[in-house]
Chains A and B, each alone.
Chain A
Amino acid sequence: MTVTEAPRDAALEAAAAPSPSAPPTGLAAVVGSGDPRTIGKLFVGTSLLFLLAAGVIGVLTGVEVYDSTGSEIFAADTLPRMVTLQATGALFLGVLPLLLGLATAIVPLQVGAATVAFPRATAAAYWTWLVSGALVIAAYGIDGGPFGRDVDAVSLYVGALVAVIVALAVATISVVTTVATLRAPGMTLRRTPLFSWSVLVGGSVWLLTLPVLAADLVVTWVDLRYGQQFLRGPDGVWERVAWMFWQPTLYVAAVPALGVIADVVPVFAQRRHQRHRVAMFLIGAAAALGTGSWAQVGASADGSVNPTDWLFEGPWIAVSFLAIVPILGLLGLWTLTLFTGRVRLGTPLILVVPAGLLLLLGIGAGGATAVKGAGLVNTTWMTAQATLVLLGAALAGLGGVAFWAPKLYGKLLPDGATRLGGTLVFLGALVAAVPLAVAGTLDQARLVSGGTAEVAPGDVDTVEVLNLVSAVGLGVAVLGGLLAGLAMMARRRGEGPGDDPWGGHTLEWATSSPPPIGHFASLPEITSEAPVYDARHAAAASASTEAPAR
């Protein structure tokens, strides 16, 4: 197979020299490609499919728990498995690879690199992730996954999830190293675009988090294969994974989403990002506070869990509240940037602003979870919180796809369908999360730990209606995602949008759309975090001073 890795000089030489053989086309061009744009698009497209599938499963489980007295869709012991499939799919096959795919395609352009640091490793990571993700789903099909009855199939789930994590970690190393080492001359870390910065700090924390989960899963796999005495067999598997969906660990998945919003807002405000360095600090703080592998419920030698660990007293409560500060600060900076600029209501802005609100609500809900005496831990309040954060990150990812569509596809996405899709995702997320949060205050336990079992008899009917409304909301979000996905496939017809349709600020807008192999024939002088913005204003200033002279 041919791997189209493209260092800049080599790419230019290759373009000038006659090709001894025709470049691969069709499937061979996709399977054999090490081009970061191709791999990034594959990550984005596949992860959106997985996200939609996870959403559909969420709708089905929501409808299932509408009537707690009878099981209509799934067998009674299948419901918790489907909930874990939805969660696994949403995070490891959906949100993380969506943002990682966007980073793989865009980060090299933003920092002025010809390609990612390790193109072959990135390509290998994508295909490993895809096959392993398929195996994760296949494991559920043969009675595996957490709470499954077939130990071999449960082991398959655990092993395949380890492979998914390793693949995501390898792709993360590639993009993080790209930001760390392949920045163009003049692009200091302080001048790094905020999306690339968020990938650097968020990815670094992913690399401190994902290996911990992998280690947990390795010991779980060994336990499953040899005796099942330590972790309660298949019923104990989810305890080893679930902390990824709790605060503060969940927040780190959304850090690159903050970077997407931070790059889109100033472009549509038509002015620089206010307090760029403060924004860098706040994004770094969000990543640091999301370092949450310490916040696991723990385990004991007799197989029981110990949630009263001292870590869940002071540190967990403090981090839960502190995590609100960076997102509030960033929202403040974005509001300031918009108010002091000349706002254009472009499609990407319409997608990322609601995404920021969803993230704020999700992280704010995390603060409420930590309030002592509120009794929200292990209720569907936490499910609502995870829904808000994950859908907020996914919506920001969609906004990023719409923003960088000229670089990804050479075309813009259709405004109407993309805006409608994004709006439906936003509204659907709210309608899905708020009823679950209310049900959580009525003591509905998370669905993997009993559902309505703890709800007071007088509240059961109310909770069931809330569950149904939540399922409808998730259905609306899925519909919105489907619409946005169709918009991505359709794209705008006719001529391309030009190299810089939005009036971008950062380096990716200094090359053609779509960019050539090698990305840049020459690089501009970089003296700030917004070199294209600088150049455009310098050109405008030069033109205005020359005009009177004529």
Chain B
Amino acid sequence: MSSATTTEIEVFSGAPAPPPHRPRVLLVGTAYAAGASATAVLALIALYARLRADVLARGEVWLPEEANLQLTPGTMGMATLLLSLPMVAWIVHALRNDDRGHALMAYGVTLVLGVAYINGAAYGWQQLGLGITSSTQALLIYTITGLHVAMAAVGLLYLAVAAFRTAGGQLTGRAAEAVSAAALYWFVTVAVYAVVWYTITITK
């Protein structure tokens, strides 16, 4: 066995190494987490589409007669989330310019829009007219939309933590990676909802 050690290797002695750079650790980690969350919801969407295709191929109707899957709540949810996108961009922009006042205002509007989306989803469940035990379709609709609401709740929590840190002066124009990461998670959340909305609300 070689007995080479650190001290025997000349290249390791001498001048200290340059300082390590830490490029966007939180952003990359959040990207992986957002990708994993999106994969979970999209997997259920794939299951939903697959089962619906099977039923339609048999010439049957997918949604039960008693289902009241209205366009309005789902579309309002989509619109609400779309409105939140420029607000999130506003947060990032304001913070990069060290404009904490505007950033906090944008946080507030985004959080209100996020809560409004969750409220709208709850209203949609109330109006659906299907018990969760009534059919496979109901089971899948509740599970998919519920999982997405959970994803949105995580995104809101992430934004809320960033808001508190911004208010406390921890996040500034030079140290705004956490905001970029929270914004990325929120963008992915909205993108995933677009798929949920199209699959469940639009094409039914």
Is A512 touching B6 in the complex (CB atoms < 8 A)?
A: yes
Give Cα A112–Cα B21 distance, bound, in whole angstroms.
11
Which residues B11-52 have CB closer than 8 A to chain A?
11-12, 16-25, 28-29, 32-33, 35-37, 39-41, 43-44, 47, 50-51
Is A219 touching B29 in the complex (CB atoms < 8 A)?
A: no
Residues of B within 8 A of A114 (CB): 20
Give Cα A203–Cα B96 distance, bound, in whole angstroms.
33
The answer, among A174, A219, A300, for a CB contact under 8 Å with B44, is A219
Residues of B within 8 A of A185 (CB): 17-18, 20-21
Is A227 touching B132 in the complex (CB atoms < 8 A)?
A: yes
Is B28 touching A510 in the complex (CB atoms < 8 A)?
A: no
Residues of A within 8 A of B16 (CB): 522
Is A523 touching B17 in the complex (CB atoms < 8 A)?
A: yes
Q: How far is the CB of B12 from chain A (nearest CB, A)?
A: 5
Q: For chain B, what secondary structure do more than half of its interface residues adopt (helix, strand, loop), or is it mixed?
A: helix
In chain B, what residue has the closest Cβ to A225?
B132
Is A524 touching B17 in the complex (CB atoms < 8 A)?
A: yes
Given known contacts A117-B29, A299-B51, A211 and B6 CB-to-CB distance under 8 angstroms: no
Is B43 touching A212 in the complex (CB atoms < 8 A)?
A: yes
A216 at the interface (CB under 8 A from B): yes
A308 at the interface (CB under 8 A from B): no
Interface string of A346-363 (1 = CB under 8 A from B): 100000000000000000
Give Cα A20–Cα B165 distance, bound, in whole angstroms.
28
Q: How far is the CB of B159 from chain A (nearest CB, A)?
A: 19
Is B17 touching A207 in the complex (CB atoms < 8 A)?
A: no
Given known contacts A211-B39, A230-B136, A181 and B24 CB-to-CB distance under 8 angstroms: yes
Pick out which of these stretches binds chain A: B98-106, B111-119, B121-129, B138-146.
B138-146
Residues of B within 8 A of A173 (CB): 29, 32-33, 36
Give Cα A510–Cα B41 distance, bound, in whole angstroms.
44
Interface string of B70-90 (1 = CB under 8 A from A): 000000000000000000000
In chain B, what residue has the closest Cβ to A117?
B25
Is B12 touching A522 in the complex (CB atoms < 8 A)?
A: yes
Determine which residue in B51, B132, B143 has the highest number of CB atoms from chain A within 10 A of its CB, and name it: B143
Give Cα A498–Cα B140 distance, bound, in whole angstroms.
58
Q: How far is the CB of B55 from chain A (nearest CB, A)?
A: 5
Determine which residue in A174, A293, A522 has the highest number of CB atoms from chain B within 10 A of its CB, and name it: A522
Is B47 touching A299 in the complex (CB atoms < 8 A)?
A: yes
How many chain-A residues does the 8 Å CB contact rule pick out?
62
A549 at the interface (CB under 8 A from B): no
Is A503 touching B1 in the complex (CB atoms < 8 A)?
A: yes
B3 at the interface (CB under 8 A from A): yes
Q: How far is the CB of B23 from chain A (nearest CB, A)?
A: 5
The answer, among B1, B4, B139, for a CB contact under 8 Å with A219, is B139
Give Cα A355–Cα B47 distance, bound, in whole angstroms.
36
Is B143 touching A176 in the complex (CB atoms < 8 A)?
A: no
Give Cα A118–Cα B27 distance, bound, in whole angstroms.
12
Q: How far is the CB of B57 from chain A (nearest CB, A)?
A: 11
In chain B, what residue has the closest Cβ to A207?
B36
B133 at the interface (CB under 8 A from A): yes
Determine which residue in B25, B41, B55 has the highest number of CB atoms from chain A within 10 A of its CB, and name it: B25
Residues of B within 8 A of A207 (CB): 32, 35-36, 39
Q: How far is the CB of A474 from chain B (nearest CB, A)?
A: 33
A332 at the interface (CB under 8 A from B): no
Pick out which of these stretches binds chain B: A37-45, A88-96, A485-493, A536-544.
A536-544
Given known contacts A181-B25, A207-B39, A219 and B12 CB-to-CB distance under 8 angstroms: no
In chain B, what residue has the closest Cβ to A293?
B43
Is B4 touching A211 in the complex (CB atoms < 8 A)?
A: no
Which residues A308-329 have CB closer than 8 A to chain B?
none
Q: What residues of chain A have their CB less than 8 Å away from a CB belonging to chain B?
A: 8-9, 112-114, 117-118, 169, 173-174, 176-177, 180-182, 184-185, 204, 207-208, 210-212, 214-216, 218-219, 222-223, 226-227, 229-230, 293, 298-301, 306, 344, 346, 498-503, 510-512, 520, 522-525, 532, 535-536, 538-539, 542
Other than the given A112-B20, A181-B28, A501-B2, 16 more pairs (CB < 8 A) read A117-B25, A182-B20, A185-B18, A204-B32, A207-B35, A212-B43, A215-B40, A219-B139, A229-B135, A299-B50, A300-B51, A500-B5, A500-B6, A501-B3, A536-B9, A539-B11
